[in-house]
């Protein structure tokens, strides 16, 4: 929390303060919601796309909700679940998981259970011992893992190092394949290129450890074990109508302007925002008392009168490329099919039949610039056929710049301390996934914490 001096520093946040939020994803809309809870009535959200939700993008097919981006909700997602209760966004269960091992049967491939897969190359005793050790490490670093943001991470060099090195040094190598499921398969692993397999088969050799711990925290680790051992399929869950619908319903109670292209932001005693809007002529100029950047930091450099420090920090973020394809596929099992060992970039690492009554399946493929969309589709057709399916029609495809992160070296040199030190300078605050980890839950938790830190409550009874 901030102290009294910090609050005085932001004394311009009076009852009639106008706040502009650029970005209508999880970070921006949760921030607007929490500001409204604290009594701020003049909050405007500017979103470039014609829809809200950011990386939570959904569509309806045969009256069923499908997700092209964020999808799963874990039991520890307290902020997302609380926001969902506000707007009656219902959760449903997910399909069970099974693994396709393409190296079995002389390269023809075959299915294994998750438990059989994660125990390959180790023993049940070594696996159990590593699970206990990992849980104890989460307890040791609990305050850092559970607190929103990464301001003090540079004081923990062990958590800045690559995750593969951390696993080896802490005796956690028996868990490598288990971690490949939520981390690498879901797009958080080390970047790669087609035809160039990394030295680390699970793609964990360049992922700073704290990011892994932020995702696979105590609650998620417990769920991962329960699913892996076949003990429970209650979690993870997903939104029945799609993740985007949560944010869309929240936006109905807020001043959200879609189809906005921010042209310039000038901060000289106040905040002036200039933007154009799809379907409207001319440039709109509006003055605000505070600015919240809840969009990808590198994108802000195209319109923000950024300082040298902002340019250095915002420009340091790196992203992974990830492609999500939906296709009508006959004969697919009613499962989430994880592919392990991991295959080449451009091939699907997860094949999901989200609804038992629908043949529309979702395919998740890590990609790199030289992998074309057509190649992704060709690989999906091949790999779906290997597991017993037949793609008859491609429905949609979405290519994402995903997971804002910095290198271990940058992190260890105090990157996040410098980034947090900018909060409030020039009446500007930075929210969103880049300040913590690429999950809607982490983004919402960060928004709530920083709204409480920097925006004094204007309503009686709110602290």
pLDDT score for 14:
75
pLDDT score for 8:
43
pLDDT score for 29:
98
How far apart CA 290 and CA 308 sit, in angstroms, is 20
Domains of the chain with CATH codes: 4-54+244-317+406-454 (3.50.50.60), 114-234 (1.10.405.20)
H runs (alpha helix) in 181-229: 209-215, 218-228
Q: For the chain, how are helix, strand and coil distributed in percent, rounded to 5? A: 35, 25, 40
pLDDT score for 261:
97
Residue 369 near residue 419, CB atoms below 8 Å: no
pLDDT score for 461:
58
pLDDT score for 7:
45
Which among 54, 340, 294, 293 is positioned nearest to 181, based on CA atoms?
340
pLDDT score for 194:
67
Place of tokens 């970039």: 345
* Residue ranges with strand state E in 215-349: 237-239, 255-257, 260-267, 271-277, 280-288, 290-293, 318-330, 335-339
Neighbours of 333 (CB within 10 A): 17
113 CB burial (10 A radius; 0-12, 13-18, 19+): middle
pLDDT score for 373:
96
How far apart CA 431 and CA 51 sit, in angstroms, is 19
For residue 323, give Cα distances in angstroms to 60, 232, 339: 19, 29, 16
> What does DSSP assign to residue 461?
T
Please, which residues bridge with residue 364 across strands?
Answer: 324, 350
pLDDT score for 198:
61
Residue 310: which H helix or E strand, with range? Answer: helix 308-314
Residue 270 near residue 427, CB atoms below 8 Å: yes
Which residues, given as ranges, of the chain have pLDDT below 70? 1-12, 193-199, 232-233, 459-463
pLDDT score for 380:
98
How far apart CA 337 and CA 341 sit, in angstroms, is 12
Structure tokens at 57: 């993008």
Which among 354, 353, 343 is positioned nearest to 379, based on CA atoms?
343
Torsion of CA 215, 82, 352, 145, to 10 degrees: 0
H runs (alpha helix) in 338-459: 373-386, 408-412, 415-421, 440-454
pTM: 0.95
Residue 254 near residue 45, CB atoms below 8 Å: yes
- Would strands 271-277 and 255-257 be described as parallel, antiparallel, or unpaired? unpaired
Which among 236, 218, 192, 209 is positioned nearest to 96, based on CA atoms?
236
How far apart CA 424 and CA 345 sit, in angstroms, is 41
Q: At what angle do helices 78-86 and 440-454 cross, to 10 degrees?
A: 80
Structure tokens at 288: 């605000």
pLDDT score for 279:
82
């Amino acid at each position: 929390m901030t102290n009294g001096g910090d609050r005085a520093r932001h004394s311009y946040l009076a009852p009639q303060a106008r706040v502009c939020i650029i970005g209508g994803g999880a970070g921006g809309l949760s921030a607007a919601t929490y500001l409204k809870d604290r009594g701020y009535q003049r909050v405007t959200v500017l979103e470039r796309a014609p829809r809200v939700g950011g990386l939570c993008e959904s569509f309806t097919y045969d009256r069923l909700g499908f997700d092209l981006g964020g999808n799963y909700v874990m039991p520890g997602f307290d902020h997302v679940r609380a926001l969902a209760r506000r707007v009656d966004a219902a959760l449903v269960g997910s399909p069970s998981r099974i693994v396709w091992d393409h190296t079995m049967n002389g390269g023809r491939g075959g299915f294994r259970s998750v438990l059989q897969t994660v125990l390959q190359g180790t023993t049940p005793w070594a696996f159990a011992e590593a699970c206990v050790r990992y849980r104890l490490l989460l307890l040791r670093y609990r305050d850092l893992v559970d607190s929103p943001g990464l301001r003090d991470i540079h004081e923990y060099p062990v958590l800045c190092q690559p995750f593969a090195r951390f696993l080896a040094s802490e005796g956690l190598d028996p868990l490598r394949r288990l971690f490949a499921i939520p981390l690498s398969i879901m797009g958080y692993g080390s970047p790669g290129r087609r035809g160039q397999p990394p030295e680390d088969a699970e793609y964990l050799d360049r992922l700073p450890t704290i990011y892994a711990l932020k995702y696979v925290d105590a609650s998620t680790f417990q769920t991962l074990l329960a699913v892996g051992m076949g003990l429970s399929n209650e979690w993870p869950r997903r939104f029945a109508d799609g993740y985007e619908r949560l944010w869309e319903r929240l936006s109905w109670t807020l001043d959200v302007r879609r189809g906005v292209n921010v042209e310039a932001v000038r901060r000289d005693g106040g905040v002036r925002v200039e933007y154009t809007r799809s379907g409207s002529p001319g440039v709109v100029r509006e003055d605000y008392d505070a600015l919240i950047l809840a969009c990808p930091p590198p994108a802000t450099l195209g319109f923000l009168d950024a300082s040298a420090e902002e340019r250095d920090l915002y420009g340091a973020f790196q992203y992974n490329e990830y492609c999500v394809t939906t296709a009508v596929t006959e004969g697919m099992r009613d499962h989430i099919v994880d592919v392990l060992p991991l295959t080449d970039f451009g091939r699907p690492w997860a094949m999901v039949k989200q609804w038992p009554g629908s043949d529309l399946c979702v395919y998740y493929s890590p990609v790199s610039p030289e992998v074309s969309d057509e190649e992704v589709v060709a690989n999906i057709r091949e790999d779906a056929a290997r597991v017993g399916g037949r793609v008859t029609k491609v429905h949609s495809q979405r290519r994402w710049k995903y997971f804002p992160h910095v290198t271990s070296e940058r992190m260890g040199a105090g990157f996040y301390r410098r980034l947090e030190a900018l909060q409030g300078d020039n009446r500007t605050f930075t929210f969103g996934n880049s300040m913590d980890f690429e999950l809607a839950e982490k983004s919402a938790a960060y928004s709530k914490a920083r709204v409480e830190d920097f925006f004094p409550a204007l309503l009686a009874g709110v602290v």
